[in-house]
Structure 1
Amino acid sequence: MSKKNKDIEVRVEETKKRVNGQEIDVTQLFIGKKMIGEVLTNDAKHFEIFMDNESQGVFKTLDEALESVIRQWNLHD
């Protein structure tokens, strides 16, 4: 018996957060109502991902960062 893959809806929301006195653009990823990770935009080429309030790495593009959040969530949940 094989499992069928089911589609999972990932929602992306952009917001701003105050970190160390600076306002930073933050992209939040949600599956259902659960936030699975955040991407902080440090500058045009540094996108740092956070999952469970822990830094998980820095990426050169927003797409790479979002993909990494989804991959890591998929491995651990």
Structure 2
Amino acid sequence: MVDEVKGLKKNKEIEVHSEETTRTINGKTYPVTELYIGKKQIGAVLSYGEKEFQSFADDENLGTSKNMNAAIETIIRRWNLHEQ
């Protein structure tokens, strides 16, 4: 049992910060929250309305969420799966 525990990775904390910007799509401007770890952008959330938040990582559309926190969590989960 002890040998199995030695092989497990410890969870290490990462600091994610955000920057607010805008994007114009088909002539309409939308607020965008870009997420970064260090200087690397890991994703962006485009706010279409009160309950429509579209998540993107690189050029991949990760889907729509009903609130900003869920959209951010989607991006962080994708980063955890693909980048570590």
Both structures adopt the same fold (TM-score exceeding 0.5): yes
User: Bigger radius of gyration, 1 or 2?
Assistant: 2
Q: Which runs of 5 or more residues in structure 1 are unaligned?
A: none
1:54 maps to which residue?
60
Shift in CA distance, 46/5, structure 1 to aligned 2, threshold 3 Å? same
Deviation at 1:18, TM superposition (A): 1.2
The structure that is strand-richer by fraction is 1
1:19 maps to which of 25, 32, 57: 25
Q: Which runs of 5 or more residues in structure 2 are unaligned?
A: 1-5
TM-score normalized by the length of structure 2: 0.84
- Check if 1:32 corresponds to 2:44: no
Deviation at 1:12, TM superposition (A): 1.1
2:73 maps to which residue?
67
TM-score normalized by the length of structure 1: 0.91
Structure 1: 4+ residue segments shifted above 2 A: 1-6
2:10 maps to which residue?
4
Letter in 2 for 1:64: A
Q: Deviation per CA, 1:11-59, whole angstroms, max 9, x where unpaired? A: 0111111111111100010000000000000110100001112211000
- Identity between Structure 1 and Structure 2 (%): 49
Q: 2:57 & 2:26 partners in 1: Cα distance?
A: 19
Question: How large is the Cα RMSD of the aligned pairs?
Answer: 1.1
How many residue pairs end up in the alignment? 77
2:51 maps to which residue?
45
